[in-house]
Every structure is written in structure tokens, then in C-alpha cells.
Amino acid sequence: MTALPETTTKKLGLAIDLDTCVGCHACVISCKEWNTSNYGVPLSDIDAYGAEPTGTFLNRIHTYEAKSEGCNAQTVHFPKSCLHCEDAPCVTVCPTGASYKRAEDGIVLVNEDRCIGCSLCAWACPYGAREMDAAAGVMKKCTLCVDRIYNENIPEEDRIPACVRTCPAGARHFGDFADPESNVSILSAERGGIALMPEQDTKPVNRYLPPRPKTDVTGEDKIDILAPFLAPMPKETGGFIGWLDKALEKI
């Protein structure tokens, strides 16, 4: 069971647009809400109202600053969840057969009834995609909302992962990377989708679309469209306000 499938018919995954993501954490909350009440045990919180609250989340947003010589620093919000790797090391290390990758769509799942909570899969994952639930003692991870995407009891527009459905910026895209004509494949090809930590040879399915290059407005002949609107107010003002200003200056 913990052997990886040779190939998967589909490669379902996410294309995450780092240019569009505003770092609002709505996907984190939406993910927690859906997944705490559906597939598997709830995502517990420990000391939720105390000094050191901690809990299980399947999706986390890191915020980075990138700075290169001579350029302004750039903020990049970086959502991180399971990348549903083709060569998922978390699956093959599992001693119980609880972790598996589905041959039909490539989703990596945990059968919580078999999981002994040994943590080895979390150790094997380079991306920190797996978190052990402190209350239940079993490993939790992104299911790609397997209980939404095929769910015929919910409206068709909701049959996408909760994080994608909720993203107010439209930064998250769900689709089949095995199909070169799919929305995510086209997006990834056009924007130069990034695979994280390729040197780990995990062959992640999810792709990150890098921020688009910023317009350089620092040079002499460069035109900054916003500049006229942001220029300081003129010192001399006419009319009543101008008279008042001068009158008050004189006092």
C-alpha cells in the first residue's frame, strides 16, 4: 500500500499565484473550517485562548522579503500546503500503510485508522506539509478537499478545494497538471511555474507562479504613471484657503 503508483491518471494540484496573493490568510481559515468538520479527525487547537496557542493547520502562509542589490525590497506572501508529490517520500517511509498516493488522481492521503502517529512521514517531507494532531495523535495533511471535489451533494461551483473557493484575490487555481490543456497547466507554462526544492527529487505537482517583474521607475527617462498623483501639494494655494493661509502666517 505504501508503494507509490507507477503513474497516476490525473495529477490534481494547485497553481498558486505569488503575484496575486495578498497574504490575507483567508485560505488558511477556510481550510481549517472545512477540514476540521469533514475528512478524518478534527484539526485540534491547544491552549487556544492562552498565552501560547498552537494548533493543527493544513495550510500556512509565510511572508518573505526579497531584496537584491540596488532594488527596492519586495514582499512575497507564500502559501504552503501539501504539493502532492509524484515521488512522495512521506508515503514510502510509512510503516503502517496509512499513507498512500491515489493512482486515479495523484492525491496523497492518510488513512487515520491505520496511522500510529510515528511522525516519520513528517520528517520525510521537505515542505512541512504534514502536521501531527496533538489531540488525536494522527498525522494530518491537505486532502486537496477530496470530499469536496467529487461531492455531488454540493453545488458544482463548490467542487473545488476550500482554499481555492475562498481566495478573494483569485490567487489559487485547482486543476489537472497531467492535462496540458488544463487551466493550471496553461497558467504554469505561461508564468514559468516553480517546483519547490527540486534538489529533493520529490517531483511536486503543485506549482508556484512567481511574482511578475516590477516596473522600474527609478531612471531619468522612466515614466511613473502614479507619480503626478502622489506629488506633494503645491505650496501656493489660491482662493479663500490661500488668503487664510497667508493671513494666519502673518499673525
Partner 1 sequence: MHPSASVIIFTSLSGLGFGLMFWLGFGFPDVTGWSAFWFFFIAYGLAVGGLISSTAHLGNPQRAMNAFSQWRTSWLSREGVAAVATLILTAPFAIGLIFFNTDLQILGWISSILALVTIFTTSKIYNQLKTVPRWNMPLTPVLFLVYALAGGALLSGQITVSAVLLLVLTLLQLAAWQMGDKAFSNAGHTLETATGLGHLGKMRLLESPHSSPNYLMREMVHVVGRKHALKLRAISTVTLGLFPIAILMFLPFSHLLAAVAVASHLIGLFVSRWLFFAEAEHVVGLYYDQR
Least separation in angstroms between residue 29's CB and partner 1 is 13
Q: What's the gap between Cα 67 and its chain centre?
A: 21
Q: Is 115 in the site for partner 1 (CB under 8 A)?
A: yes
From 120-128, 147-155, 179-187, 241-249, span contacting partner 1 (CB under 8 A): 120-128
CA dist 249 and 251 (Å) reads 6
116 touches partner 1 by CB under 8 A? yes
Rounded to whole angstroms, the Cα distance separating 133 from 55 reads 8
Do β-strands 54-55 and 45-46 pair in parallel, antiparallel, or remain unpaired?
antiparallel
Distance CA 147, CA 16 (A): 21
Q: Which of 26, 120, 169, 187 binds partner 1 (CB under 8 A)?
A: 120
* CB-nearer residue toward partner 1: 95 or 180: 95
Among 159, 187, 194, 245, binds partner 1 (CB under 8 A): 194
The verdict on 6 binding partner 1 (CB under 8 A) reads: no
**Quick one: CA dihedral 216, 222, 228, 232, positive or negative?**
positive
Does 124 bind partner 1 (CB under 8 A)? Our answer is: yes
Which residues does 229 contact at the CB level (< 8 Å), separation at least 6? none
Nearest to 215 by CA among 205, 226, 231, 207: 226
Task: Build a one-symbol-per-residue string for 213-232: x at contacts with partner 1 by CB under 8 A, - elsewhere.
Answer: --------------------
Instruction: Pick one of 5, 24, 131, 187: the residue that binds partner 1 (CB under 8 A).
Output: 131
Q: Looking at 7, 9, 19, 97, which residue binds partner 1 (CB under 8 A)? A: 97
Single out the residue of 9, 19, 33, 64 in contact with partner 1 (rule: CB under 8 A). 64
At 124, which amino acid appears? Answer: A
Among 38, 39, 55, 187, binds partner 1 (CB under 8 A): 55
Contact with partner 1 (CB under 8 A) among 117, 146, 169, 187:
117
**Based on CB atoms, which residue is closest to partner 1, 35 or 148?**
35
Question: Phi and psi (nearest 5°) for 37?
Answer: -115, 5
Q: What are the grid coordinates assigned to 194, written together?
A: 516553480
In sign, the C-alpha dihedral spanning 179, 182, 185, 186 is: positive
Residue 199 binds to partner 1 (criterion: CB under 8 A): yes
DSSP of 213-229, one letter per residue? PPP---SSS---TTHHH
CB nearer to partner 1: give 1 or 154: 1
Q: From the CB of residue 47, how many other CB atoms can be counted at a distance below 10 Å? A: 11
Sites of contact with partner 1 (CB under 8 A): 1-3, 18, 23, 28, 52-57, 60-69, 71, 74-76, 78, 80, 89, 92-98, 114-120, 122-128, 131-134, 136-139, 194-201, 208, 210-211
